[in-house]
Structure 1
Amino acid sequence: MAPENAARRATVPEERPTETTRRLRPIPAQEPAAPPRVPVARPYVSFAQPETYDDGGERPGPADGRRTRPRTAAAAACVVLGLGLIGGAVTGSWLTGDGGDGAGSRSGFAAAGELWHSVPVDQLFPPTVKGDGAGPGGADRTWTRVAVAPDTGCEDAFDPILRKALAPVGCLRLLRATYTDVTGSHVTTVGLLFTKADAAAMASLKARFEKEGLDRRTDLMPRPYAPKGTDAEGFGAAQRASWTVSVLTDVPVVVYAVSGFADGRAVNSPQPAADAMKPGATTAPAQAGLGHEAQGLADRVERSLRKTATSATEKPS
């Protein structure tokens, strides 16, 4: 070994064992005391000890200063619990859809748009629909389903102008069913157009329909569904007498209904349901109560849809 290497090695201080964990035994006197370890703060919840009172009801003062730590811990616990309650409330509002523009309302809206393939047809279009007070003068109505159309897209399902008006929200799926009243005199097709739109687009379309009166224009009447071999077989475009179109904003659906005479007679002056239901209306659709037929059936199918959507998106508590 070279002399200079030996000399250099001799000057290197001897290595001393070090500890990497917190010591649990007394430190020998000959070893220098290690600097105190600063504990890493970790989140925890601690409840303070209850305070005691003397016979005079006076609260003892912090003579030795040890009461400060329990009070600090209690304050920390209140903060943690308060944040937990706030977080729980926010989470609950998301799950129940009460959060307005929150994530829960958006997910509930999207879930409602999938009902067309997850809900039985008898739930969307019941075989029998009761319409208490739905007729002229508050008379009761009952509608019986005579046909259900296969779920389809919207190609050739609407007249060109109505199809153009609905284009901004897109067409995911179209469901239709046709009903007759108990007398067999009237037939009504009710439809549920499930769109591809979000809530903002549905609100925009609803505002446009209301502002421009698109739901009252005869060139935007929905088409009926009239399968052969049923009481609605003669219910074609010329037989449309009254109709209603409702753009929903809490679910991505457009609800509509169109009514006519079951005997296949043509109607020269169709009238929107809102006008045909007005007291004193004298048109043929109004006198026959066809405005009530369209509006009454559409309202009840819409209510059933909303109820189904709410049940489908609710989370168990």
Structure 2
Amino acid sequence: MPPLVGSRMEAVGLGPDPALSWSAPVVPGSLGGGRPVVSFGEPEGYDERVRPRPLGGRVRSRTAAVAACVVLGLGLIGGAVTGSWLVGGSEDGGEQDTFAAAGDLWHSVPVDQLFPRTVKGTGAGPGGADRTWTRIAVAPDSGCKDAFDPLLKKALAPVGCQRLLRATYTDATQSFVTTVGLLFTKADTTSMDALAKRFRSQGLGTRTDLMPRPYAAKNTAAARFGPEQRASWTVSVLTDAPVVVYAVSGWADGRTVDTPLAAEQATQSGATSAPAQAGLGNEAQGLADRIERALRKDVTSPTEKPS
């Protein structure tokens, strides 16, 4: 079993070692069973010329047809049941199981699966341009102390903090840097629903005083990526998992940003601010979306290796 990311995570240079990972094997189950064999006698009947003949062939053919239908029906039902188990089912119990499983991913899924070394962003850039992001730093898994600005910490307080995982990426030109975070909460579905509703109704995701903090690793392209360099960001409160996904982007050269703009606004047609024109809203939104998609896949296949 590979070592866990946490207090034992070693640095690459002066930054964290992205090779370390969380892992936990999953043992698949199996289904099996048998069916009884039924035999019939051979009664006599008459053909079209009123001659007596045995009916066994017709009975056997009808019996075989009925048996085939039974086998097919049982197979379809069994497949449907097995499929619902694999994805958690559509009933409340299955949804709760999936929700709980998502909350455990922080220690059961490898770091390279949660935060792939390379992320492809087909059509994620301005005008539908393609993007490729390379991971340059992974923060040790931690609690949320000093991880957020005071107001954002207060806004997230109702759902609690179980674990915070973060990684920082750069684009292919190393012009931009983006930190993406996965906050695993202690909340149930009701609390996550309430927080998501509050973010939507009160527009909390676009307030500059609720921007996430970046993770700046020394000796990387993100070494100068501090609070003053934040240019665009996005925060997504999931309702089908106890997770808050966020991303914050900025320039890699350390330039400060006087007027940051939320990705939701920076990616709109006609936006003219510097973060929007540079495509930093697309950097934050595009990377956050793809990390979130990977997380959802991990809920049903936690041992699947990233492509």
Does residue 285 of structure 1 match 2:275?
A: yes
Residue deviations 1:43-70 (CA, integer Å, cap 9, x gap): xx9979679575499xxxxxxxxxxxxx
Cα pair 1:94 1:105 within 8 Å, conserved: no
Moved more, 305-314 or 277-286: 305-314
CA gap 1:177/1:49 in 2 versus in 1, 3 angstroms: same
- How many Å separate the matches in 2 of 1:144 and 1:48? 66
Does residue 205 of structure 1 match 2:195?
A: yes
Larger Rg: 1
CA gap 1:200/1:87 in 2 versus in 1, 3 angstroms: farther
Q: Which amino acid aligns with 2:228?
A: A
What's the counterpart of residue 150 of structure 1? 140
TM-score, normalised with respect to structure 2: 0.73
CA gap 1:85/1:146 in 2 versus in 1, 3 angstroms: closer
RMSD, matched Cα: 2.9
Cα pair 1:112 1:312 within 8 Å, conserved: no
Equivalent residue for 1:159, pick from 149, 163, 167 = 149
Does residue 237 of structure 1 match 2:227?
A: yes
Post-superposition shift, 1:199?
2.1
Aligned residues: 250
- How many Å separate the matches in 2 of 1:96 and 1:166? 31
What's the counterpart of residue 262 of structure 2? 272
Q: Which amino acid aligns with 2:201?
A: K
Q: Which amino acid aligns with 1:254?
A: V
Identity %: 65
Post-superposition shift, 1:221?
0.4
Cα pair 2:267 2:282 within 8 Å, conserved: yes
Residue deviations 1:36-95 (CA, integer Å, cap 9, x gap): xxxxxxxxx9979679575499xxxxxxxxxxxxxxxxxxxxxxx9xx999968954751
Does residue 175 of structure 1 match 2:169?
A: no
CA gap 1:51/1:203 in 2 versus in 1, 3 angstroms: farther
- How many Å separate the matches in 2 of 1:51 and 1:298? 70
- How many Å separate the matches in 1 of 2:136 and 2:79? 47
1:219-238 to 2 correspondences below 5 Å: 219-238=209-228
Q: Classify the secondary structure of the residue corresponding to 1:296.
A: helix
CA gap 1:306/1:49 in 2 versus in 1, 3 angstroms: same
What's the counterpart of residue 122 of structure 2? 132
What's the counterpart of residue 54 of structure 2? none
Q: Which amino acid aligns with 1:215?
A: G
Cα pair 1:202 1:248 within 8 Å, conserved: yes
Moved more, 117-126 or 289-298: 117-126
Q: Which amino acid aligns with 1:306?
A: R
1:21-32 to 2 correspondences below 5 Å: none
- How many Å separate the matches in 2 of 1:103 and 1:197? 17
- Ranges in structure 1 where 5+ consecutive residues have no aligned partner: 1-44, 58-80
- Ranges in structure 2 where 5+ consecutive residues have no aligned partner: 1-35, 49-70
Cα pair 2:208 2:260 within 8 Å, conserved: yes
Does residue 259 of structure 1 match 2:243?
A: no
- How many Å separate the matches in 1 of 2:185 and 2:287? 21
